[in-house]
Amino acid sequence: MIEGQRPVVSCRGLSRVYGTQAMPVQALTDVDIDIAPGEFVSLSGPSGSGKSTLLNLIGALDRPTEGEVIVDGVALGGLDEAERSDLRLTKIGFVFQAYNLIPVLSARENVEFIMQLQGVAARERHARALEMLESLGIADLANRRPGELSGGQQQRVAVARAIVTRPALLLADEPSANLDSKTTQTLLELLRSINVERGVTIVTATHDPIVMRYARRGVQMQDGRIVADEAVSEGTVVRPA
């Protein structure tokens, strides 16, 4: 990260314990990480390594048992639920492996949905949604509902919805989980283009080595801890003490 540059994400001393006091499950233990503007980071590791838990904490979908998360200069710990919801609405885009599209809405209406919640005027959100669908090569599908789209097409709509609001951060949880290899590569080329051309900071949680290769930084997790942090473009690995 450039000296003096503020991270988009900063986590300090993050721990997350689930379960009961009698039977606790330690999902994260004392995790520190900074993510700079414009990075493309993959969180990888086996099931139970803590990658999805960390993604959920960064996305204000969960709260840590201990520690602090700061997103785009905002400390999440001091926010109530309404403020956390507003932060997710204005600063964070999400791409879920299940797409989470609204089945009764068209592709264009799904892309417009978050902007509607933000209070964007109808004419502007129509134009921005169509422009985004055009840039992703699916403008001709704007009036189709999710049930009329293939998995790859639905994923593109989900990506369009996530970035049309121009968030500071895009979070993708197992983005290739339900896709074939060809569609996976198309999606990853799209994410890399968004990262490089639009400067969107992207963090993915994945176990897919193909996704890891597209990221420019790989963070490996095991047993709730970061065990390696690799600058992919340089091929170097920094192992936490």
Check which CATH number belongs to the domain holding 118 and give it: 3.40.50.300
Residue 3 lies in a domain: no
Buried b (16+ CB within 10 A) or exposed e, 92-114: bbbbbbebebeeeebbbbbbbbb
pLDDT at 130: 95
Residue 168 lies in a domain: yes
Residue 136 lies in a domain: yes
- For the chain, 241 residues long, give each residue's pLDDT as a single digit of tens: 556 678 999 999 999 999 888 888 999 999 999 999 999 999 999 988 999 999 999 999 999 999 999 999 999 998 999 999 999 998 999 988 778 899 999 999 999 999 999 999 999 999 999 998 998 889 999 999 999 998 888 988 998 998 888 888 999 988 877 677 877 888 888 888 889 888 899 999 998 888 888 999 999 999 999 999 988 754 444 445 4
- Strand blocks (E) in the chain: 9-19, 24-35, 40-44, 66-71, 74-75, 92-95, 169-173, 201-206, 217-222, 225-231, 236-238
Residue 1 lies in a domain: no
In the DSSP assignment, the letter for residue 168 is S
Domain that holds residue 116: 9-238
- Of 234, 241, 208, 238, give the one whose Cα is nearest residue 42: 208
Residue 113, SS3 per DSSP: helix
Residue 186 lies in a domain: yes
Residue 60 lies in a domain: yes
Residue 2 lies in a domain: no
Q: How far apart are CA 25 and CA 28, in angstroms?
A: 9
* Residue located via tokens 């520690």: 67
Q: How many structural domains comprise the chain?
A: 1
The pTM (predicted TM-score) of the whole model is 0.86
Two tokens, residue 161: 């919805």
Residue 158 lies in a domain: yes
